[in-house]
Amino acid sequence: MKLWEMLFVRATVAEAEPATGRFRRLRLRAGALRDAEWKPGQQVRVDVGAKGALAPLLRTYSVWSREADTIELQALLHGDGPGARWMGAARPGDEVLLSKPKGDFVTRSAPHHLFVGEETASVAFGPMLRALPAAERAASRVVIEAEPADRLALDGNVTWVSRDGLVDAVRRLALPEESGQAYVAGEARAVQAVKQHLVRDRGWPRRSVLTKPFWTPGRRGME
């Protein structure tokens, strides 16, 4: 066994099927996941490279849900990169190496919550919203840029916007005077623009805007 393989969990694809629009759903099962800690919003890194390769080819996926020894991934199939090819080709019974869930893009205590992003971000936002107390979830504002076919089911007060409308939608959003906690994820330039608006125009402290750039044009898998 290669040294890097010892840092990963060997899982089996239990289910693989189309989901909403361009999304594909995978359920991965591994005994080692049973005792792994998971906070909604965290991710796993998956080796999507060829078997027997000298080094892993890693892609990062947000965990949509977790149950006992199984995690569920929802991934948007776009482009022809190695991650999209692996996700589209995975079948029940396939084995895969992945990390245990990790990351600090998780909900924090706040007077109110704002979630902003596009399709890729909605996979992280789904479990984060579900984990909030009911009253906080009902009061949350959610702005997602996605075409109608690619809209995952999200709890909370969701505003859906069309392509390139994300920043303007946040500018028009009625927010409480008191700053809350924002979670902004997705395409890097849009993430930065939303953060600048909240800090510069709304007066939110920088520490109250948690960002997670998932991708930028010409580059995928920014971790």
Q: Are residues 131 and 66 in the same domain?
A: no
Same domain? 124 vs 64: no
Are 210 and 172 within one domain?
Answer: yes
136 and 193: one domain?
Answer: yes
Residue 171 is predicted with a pLDDT of 95
Range of the domain at 27: 3-98
If asked whether residues 94 and 117 sit together in one domain, one would say: no
Report how far residue 138's alpha carbon sits from residue 147's, in angstroms, rounded to the nearest whole number: 24
- The number of domains in the chain is 2
Assess if residue 223 is contained within a domain: no
94 and 118 both lie in a single domain = no
Share of the chain above pLDDT 90, in %: 83
Is residue 4 pLDDT above 70, yes or no? Answer: no
- Of 171, 149, 148, 174, the C-alpha closest to 161 is 148
Closest to 127 (Cα-Cα) out of 184, 42, 187: 42
Do 138 and 51 lie in one domain? The reply is no
Q: What is the CATH number of the domain that holds 196?
A: 3.40.50.80
222 lies in some domain: no
Burial class from Cβ neighbours inside 10 Å (0-12, 13-18, 19+) for residue 47 reads buried
pLDDT at 45: 96
Claim to verify: residue 120 and residue 195 sit in the same structural domain = yes
* 151-170: average pLDDT: 92
Domain boundary among 98, 130, 147: 98
Structure confidence by residue, pLDDT tens digits, 128-154: 999 999 999 998 999 999 999 999 999
Per-residue pLDDT tens for 172-215?
A: 999 998 999 999 999 999 999 999 999 999 999 999 999 999 88
Statement: residue 220 has pLDDT above 70: no
Provide mean pLDDT across the span 166-171.
95
Q: 78 lies in a domain?
A: yes
pLDDT for 57: 94
- Residue 106 belongs to some domain of the structure: no
Q: How many CA atoms lie within 13 A of 33 on its CB side?
A: 25
Q: How far is CA 46 from CA 3, 10, 147, 177, in A?
A: 16, 10, 27, 41
Q: Kindly state whether residues 118 and 197 are assigned to the same domain.
A: yes
- The answer to whether residue 221 is domain-embedded is no
Question: Per-residue pLDDT for 218 more than 70?
Answer: no
If you average pLDDT over residues 151-164, what whole number do you get? 92
Query: Does 73 share its domain with 132?
Result: no
Can you give the pTM of this predicted structure? 0.92
Q: Please indicate, yes or no, if residue 107 is contained in any of the structural domains.
A: no
Please list, in sequence order, all residues whose beta carbon lies within 8 angstroms of the beta carbon of residue 202, skipping any fewer than 6 positions away.
Answer: 175, 179
Partners of 211 in beta bridges: 184
**Looking at the structure, do residues 72 and 126 belong to the same domain, yes or no?**
no
Q: What is the pLDDT of residues 52-83, one digit of tens each?
A: 788 889 999 999 999 999 999 999 998 788 99
The structure tokens listed for 52 are 């027997």
Work out the mean pLDDT of the chain and round it to a whole number: 92
**Residue 122: pLDDT above 80?**
yes
Average pLDDT (9-26) is: 96
Of 42, 64, 98, which marks where a domain is finished?
98
Examine the domain organization and report whether 38 and 90 are in the same domain.
yes
Query: What DSSP designation does 151 have?
Result: -
**What is the mean predicted confidence (pLDDT) over 15-24?**
96
